Structure 1
Amino acid sequence: MKEILFYLPAVGSYDQLKKGFAGVNDKNYQNMLFQITKQAQLADDLGYWGVAFTEHHFHIEGFEESNNPILLDLYIAMQTKRIKVGQMANVLPFQNPIRLAEDLAMLDQMTGGRSFIGIARGYQKRWADVLGQTYHVGATFSDKSERDVANRQRFNEHWEIMKALWSERTTSLKTENWQVPPPGIDFNHEAVNTFGGGQDDQGVITEVGIAPKPYQKPWPQVFQPFSFSEESFRFCAREGIVPIVMNTNNEVISRLLDVYQEEAEAAGRGALKRGEGVGIFRDVLVSRDADEAHYWARRGNGFIFPNWFGPMGFAEVMRNPGETGQIGSDYDTLCERGFEFVGTPDDINRQIEKLVSQHDPEYLLQWQYPGPVPHDVQMRSIELWASEIAPNWL
């Protein structure tokens, strides 16, 4: 199983977050950069597979201050040696796909092929509807609404543009909202025909290409967090993308993995092993003392989830089939439903044993909380995982 540390990242201690506006405190942000650097360096030395950051904007509260995961990736990559860096994820519908394809290719070149890519559709209205106005699309929560359909259409469209730019020397394509290049660009530059391409005899640009291309060919491994619907799993299976499962119910997870295997085989990817090409997402904190681990986890995800993610609908990932009514998002519910991998190495080894026997995921995305969980506690957690948990599940 390949371990990926996932950082929002949170900015500010538990007490600072509770006071408000922790995200605009310069000292808090510098402390966060210091902590994720040291933690990523330790993970690098201990053999973790990767580290990832999200994309969200306007986070004055400090809960997930990560408006540019690509920059954070490069920052960490320049201070590590082997660990892969990536995004969980870039929100495609609200970005220029040409610029994003270029930036991701540059990151892969600058890291010598140590990058991976994450793509998502966007669910936080505060920023998505502000940034998305240029593309006339808004946030969604996979509810089959008109807004949801428009969001998915943009997501698919931008993904196809990025793939073409990565894989073809020069390309031209027309989609519902894009024409690359637009007609009638009279460039008429001899150097284009002599040293490049994409210009006709009249000097009109007919194709364009990005440079550099990704270091990894045709592009780095791609992930899609957090996937809930069968439609998303079928898309990922066809595209060779790793979906990251946030759900906690084993029956729901099994069905999604069934769908992934079925669709992958139908798309010509062969008969995948159970869990191959799939990731599971859990909050992780390891300590020699279980009470200590839960104390700090309660101040990390146990504080942020019910205050931020739960009210936005993420408690639904813990719903059991046929269950009605509201699902709690408090820390006790997160533990009871199996989202918290928190405790001693022995406690977590037992949880991993169940996870592997039932689903055997190729990747485990581990939620980390710099700030509300003290730096020394997280450093010990990373080390304990690497020394007393990871060796059992290679």
Structure 2
Amino acid sequence: MKSILFYLPTVGSHAQVQRGMAGVNPQNYQNMLRQLTRQAQAADELGYWGLSFTEHHFHTEGFEVSNNPIMLGLYLGMQTRHIRVGQMANVLPLHNPLRLAEDLAMLDHMTRGRAFVGIARGFQKRWADIMGQVYGVGGTLSDAGERDRRNRALFEEHWEIIKKAWTTETFTHSGEQWTIPVPDLEFPYEAVRRYGRGLDENGVIREVGIAPKPYQRPHPPVFQPFSFSEDTFRFCAREGVVPILMNTDDQIVARLMDIYREEAEAAGHGTLRRGERVGVMKDVLVSRDSGEAHHWASRGGGFIFENWFGPMGFTEALRATGETGPIGSDYKTLVDRGLEWVGTPDDINRMIEKLVERHDPEYLLQCQYSGLIPHDVQLRSLELWATEIAPNWL
């Protein structure tokens, strides 16, 4: 099982966040960069597969201050040697797909093939509705309404453009949102015809291409985190994308994994074992003392979930098959439902044993709450995982 650290970097400590507006304090941000650097270097030395960051904007509260995961990944990629760097994820409907394709190709080159890519549809309306207005799209909670349909359509069109940009020297595209190139685009320069491609005999551009192409061929590995719908799993299976499953109910997890395998095989991706090319997400914190681990985790993921994710609807990821009614977002509920992998190495080895026996996912996305959880506690957790847990599940 490949371990990917997923940072939702908080700018400020637990106490500083509670005082308010921690995100705008420049010293808090410098402390975050310093701690992330040390943790990334430790993870690199300890053999973690990858390191990733979310994308969110306007977080003056201090939560998830990661408005450009590509840039943050490059910053840490330049200070590490082996660990892969990626995003979980770029919110695809809200990006210019050509620019994003270029930026990700550059990241892949600058890290010499250590980049991986995350794509997502976006759910936080505060920033998605503001920054998506140019595309007529905003955040969605996957409710199958008109807003959701528009978001999904743009997500899939942007993904199609990015794939073309990465995998073909020059290309065209005609879709609901984009026409590439625009009609009758005159660019009558002989250098294009002589040294490039895409110019017709009348001096009109008929195709375009990006440069550079990705370092990895045909492109870096692609993930779609926080996946829980059948439509998303079918899309990922067809496209060769790795979904990161966000659900704690074994029956739902099994169903989605079976859908992925069946759809991937139908799309010609070969015969997959159950769990292959699928990941699951957990909050992870390891300590020699279980009580200490839960103390800090309750101030990290527990604090964030109760005050941030829970009110935004993420409690649906905790719902069991057939269950109705409200679900709590308190830390005890997270533990009882299985989102928290918190405790001693022995505790977590037993949790992994059950997961592997039932589902055997290829990837584990480990949520990390830097800032809220003290730096030394997180460093020790990384070491305990790498030395006393990971070797049992390679």
TM norm structure 1: 0.99
Distance 1:355 1:16 in 2: 36
Per-residue deviation, residues 2-57 of structure 1 (Å, max 9, x unmatched): 00000011111000011111110111111110111100100000100000001110
After superposition, residues 26-175 of structure 1 pair within 5 angstroms as 26-175=26-175
Residue matched to 2:375: 375
1:5 corresponds to which letter in structure 2?
Answer: L
Within a 5 Å distance, the mapping from 1:1-394 to structure 2 comes to: 1-394=1-394
Task: Read off the aligned partner of 2:134 and give its amino acid letter.
Answer: T
Write the distance in 2 (CA, Å) between the matches of 1:252 and 1:259: 11
The residue type equivalent to 2:46 in the other structure is L
- How many aligned positions are there? 394
Which ranges of structure 1 fall in alignment gaps of 5 or more residues? none
Q: CA deviation at 1:270?
A: 1.6
Deviation by residue 1:157-178 (Cα, 9 ceiling, x = unmatched): 0000000111110111111110
Deviations 1:287-336 (A, max 9, x none): 00000000000100111111000000001100001111101111000000
Equivalents in 2 of 1:384, 1:210: separation in Å?
43
Q: Provide TM-score, normalisation by structure 2.
A: 0.99
Deviation at 1:337, TM superposition (A): 0.2
Distance, in Å, in 2 between the alignment partners of 1:204 and 1:159 is 26
Identity of aligned residues (%): 68
Amino acid at match of 1:39: Q
Q: What runs of 5+ residues in structure 2 fail to find an aligned partner?
A: none
3-state SS in 1 of match to 2:214: coil
* Separation in structure 2 between the aligned mates of residue 318 and residue 2 of structure 1, nearest angstrom: 23
Runs of 4+ in 1 over 6 A off after TM superposition: none
Q: Distance in 2 between matches of 1:76 and 1:298?
A: 27
In 1, the alpha carbon distance for the partners of 2:192 and 2:18 equals: 57
Q: By how many angstroms is 1:346 displaced? A: 0.3
1:328-358 superposed Cα distances (whole Å, 9 cap, x missing partner): 1110000000000000000000001001101
Distance apart, 1:246 and its partner CA = 1.1
TM-aligned CA deviation for residue 202 of structure 1: 1.3
Cα distance in 2 between the residues matched to 1:222 and 1:10: 25
Distance 2:71 2:354 in 1: 36
CA-based RMSD of the aligned residues comes to 0.6
**1:175, 1:146 → 2: CA distance?**
18
Q: Does the residue aligned with 1:312 lie in a helix, a strand or coil?
A: coil
